[in-house]
């Protein structure tokens, strides 16, 4: 964030934090959501602070708050306590928050410190248990950038794929399938943002808008420009639920066992893939059969 803020300061830009899953995480001792000019948190699905849907916009800047309120309600610029004017003075949306999800989120907020501490404790327990597992990169969290325990990312060392001469994304997909066969569900992010159709076509609202009119029509979204982000897409497996409350030490032990089992058998996992790869490499290898579970495998629930 320091590097982003420095760029923003140089060019007179505002910084909007996408703090979607970061409720309670910190950066250099400050809570995420208080670092930029404003921030948004999500309350949907499986977030650490969950209301089922919706989210929260935060800022300490009155002008930004006023603008956000207007955008939330069709560009109607009246103060909230004055009711709606039904007169749009700018373009806006219908982003009102439903009362029921807000009530769930408020109840969840009362327990957030407790549930975050629980998730973080599990997170560290899992990382410690996986300390010596080969070809597995450790989960990332430092004193300057603390995790809120939302996700545990399992990430294969790219050097291993290179050593074995297999495409990184196919190796990761096989690891994902093998973990799933052990009852440990991890998800992959499939796309870089610029790979989405809307950016590739540069046509969001028809007739090339907004790119054709004011958003740098010449901007180039050809892939290959973001190798580090691509590397994350190709290696990261996101675990969201299994290490979080109400699970505790026993479930963490089972989860660690499943991950260890898969990562200590990567060569076995790769054999069928090596057989199917044409000499010059392929993006279309057959799906791998799942790694067989041993009869005494203690599956996670």
Say which residues have a Cβ less than 8 Å from residue 153's Cβ, sequence separation at least 6.
139, 140, 236, 237, 238, 239
* Residue of 24, 33, 36, 55 that binds ligand PLP (CB under 6 A): 55
Q: How far is the CB of 48 from ligand PLP (least distance, A)?
A: 12
Q: Does residue 31 have an active-site annotation?
A: no
Cα separation, 223 vs 233, whole angstroms: 13
Residue 23 CB, shortest distance to ligand PLP, in Å, is 12
CA distance 129 to 154: 13
Give the number of C-alpha atoms closer than 13 A to the C-alpha of residue 71, restricted to the C-beta side: 7
* Least CB distance to ligand PLP at residue 47 (A): 7
Tell me the per-residue interface mask from 12 to 51 with ligand PLP, x by CB under 6 A, - otherwise. ------x-xx--------------------x-x-------
String marking each residue 111-150 x if it binds ligand PLP according to CB under 6 A: ----------------------------------------
Q: Which of 47, 202, 261, 279 is labelled catalytic?
A: 47
Task: Give min distance, CB of 55 to ligand PLP, in A.
Answer: 5
| Alpha-carbon distances of 156 from 21, 125, 275, 292, 300, rounded to whole Å | 23, 19, 21, 20, 21
Count of C-beta atoms within a 10 Å radius of residue 128: 13
For residue 66, give Cα distances in angstroms to 54, 164, 276.
19, 56, 59
Residues known to be catalytic: 47
Q: Which residues bind ligand PLP (CB under 6 A)?
A: 18, 20-21, 42, 44, 55
């Amino acid at each position: 964030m320091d590097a982003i803020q420095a760029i923003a300061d140089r060019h007179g830009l505002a910084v909007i934090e996408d703090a979607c899953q970061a409720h309670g995480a910190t950066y250099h001792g400050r809570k995420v959501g208080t670092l930029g000019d404003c921030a948004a948190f999500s309350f949907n699905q499986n977030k650490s602070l969950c209301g089922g849907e919706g989210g929260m916009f935060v800022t300490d800047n009155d002008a930004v708050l006023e603008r956000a309120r207007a955008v939330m309600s069709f560009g109607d610029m009246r103060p909230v306590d004055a009711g709606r004017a039904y007169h749009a003075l700018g373009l806006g949306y219908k982003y009102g928050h439903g009362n029921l999800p807000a009530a769930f989120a408020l109840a969840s907020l009362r327990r957030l410190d407790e549930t975050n501490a629980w998730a973080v404790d599990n997170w560290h327990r899992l990382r410690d248990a996986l300390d010596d597992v080969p070809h597995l990169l450790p989960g990332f969290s430092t004193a300057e950038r603390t995790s809120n325990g939302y996700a545990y990312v399992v990430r294969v060392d790219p050097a291993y794929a290179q050593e074995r001469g297999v495409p990184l994304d196919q190796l990761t997909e096989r690891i994902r399938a093998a973990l799933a066969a052990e009852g440990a569900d991890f998800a992959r992010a499939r796309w870089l943002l610029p790979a989405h159709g809307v950016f590739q076509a540069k046509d969001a609202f028809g007739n090339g808008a907004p790119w054709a009119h004011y958003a740098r029509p010449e901007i180039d979204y050809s892939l290959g420009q973001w190798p580090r982000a691509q590397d994350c897409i190709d290696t990261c497996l996101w675990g969201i639920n299994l290490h979080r409350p109400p699970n505790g030490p026993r479930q963490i032990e089972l989860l660690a066992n499943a991950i260890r089992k898969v990562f200590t058998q990567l060569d076995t996992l790769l054999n069928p893939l090596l057989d199917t790869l044409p000499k010059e490499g392929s993006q279309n290898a057959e799906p791998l059969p799942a790694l067989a579970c041993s009869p005494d495998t203690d599956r996670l629930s």
